[in-house]
Amino acid sequence: MLDWTIVVPSFLAAAVEWVEAFTIVLAVSLSIGWRASIGAAVTALATLAVMTAATGGVLGLGLDIRWLQLAVGIFLLLFGVRWLAKAIARGAGLKPLHDEAQEFALTRAQLARGDWIASWLIAFKGVLFEGLEVGLVVAAFGLHGGAWASSATGALAALFVVVVVGLVVRAPLRRVPENAIKFTVGTMITAFGTFWTLEAVGGAAAWPWGDWSLLGLATFYALGGLALMALLHTRRTAGAVP
């Protein structure tokens, strides 16, 4: 039985990374062909599978659950605050929106100067680094009540959807509203990270409404993030006027 409170955030978090990885593989395929670029991607995915299994194995060795919760919570906070801050900065206009088409063109330009091995390595590293974040998310959400199947299902479903949509659309995924996804995922991951770290440090009594506090945290970060975005946008606009 899948736990949808794990599948959905795992799916969303993984989708953001798979979109970036697919864009790189697509660009590389134009230089060294689909077979070689898919070979690089599959090699990277196999490496990731081993790393994810190792991570899960280490985390499941029977260590004190509070220490595991603390370690995973810190990881989630590290990811969450980074993603949320980036999404807010982009939404406020402080940083350019992540442009998949620009990344696509940049990768092609790099490939024009390199050779076959360099191209293969670009695809391999792209999938490995983006997928590494997915692997950590799978391990993190999998710890929640031992929901490994739900967590892995969410990430694999995201991979399937991104590949299918990418192949159908062909153009470098310009229509995927990455910043909106990143903001949503950032709020959810930050909420989970806050909840788990404080529960690990202070015990179950630290959250007066138990698991319902998660919903409150996600709402607080979402509304707070939107308010910050508006505030930073206003400050930037005011600063631009002489």
Partner 1 sequence: MSAFLKTLFGDASTVSVVAIVMATEVLLIANGQVALAAFAVPPLVLAGVAWLAAR
Which residues bind to partner 1, rule: CB under 8 A?
Answer: 74, 77-79, 81-82, 84-86, 88-89, 92, 94, 129, 132-133, 136, 190, 194, 197-198, 201-203, 205-208, 213, 217, 220-221, 224-225, 228, 232
- For residue 205, the 8-state DSSP code is G
Specify the DSSP class assigned to residue 206. Answer: G
Task: Please report how close the Cβ of residue 149 comes to partner 1 at its closest, in angstroms.
Answer: 25
As a whole number of angstroms, the distance between CA 143 and CA 137 comes to: 10
The residue (of 95 and 108) whose beta carbon lies closer to partner 1 is 95
Are the C-beta atoms of 176 and 32 separated by less than 8 Å?
no
Q: How far apart are CA 167 and CA 169, in angstroms?
A: 6
Q: Between residues 74 and 163, which has the closer beta carbon with respect to partner 1? A: 74
The least distance separating partner 1 from the CB of residue 221, rounded to whole angstroms, comes to 7
- The residue among 105 and 206 lying less far from partner 1, judged by its C-beta, is 206
CB of 79 to partner 1, least distance (A): 8
Least Å distance between CB 132 and partner 1? 6
- Residue listed under structure tokens 């997928």: 131
Give kind and range of the element (H or E) at residue 85: helix 65-91
The least CB distance from residue 193 to partner 1, in Å, is 8
Q: Which is nearer to partner 1, 208 or 242 (CB)?
A: 208
Element (H, E) at 20: helix 4-59
Q: Under a CB-based contact definition with an 8 Å cutoff, are residues 187 and 50 in contact?
A: no
Minimum gap (Å) between residue 207 Cβ and partner 1: 6
For every residue of 99-153, DSSP letters joined together read -HHHHHHHHHHHHHHS-HHHHHHHHHHHHHHHHHHHHHHHHHHHTGGG-HHHHHH
Tell me whether residue 126 or residue 153 sits nearer to partner 1 (CB atom). 126
Eight-state DSSP code of residue 171: S
Cβ distance to partner 1 smaller for residue 149 or 226: 226
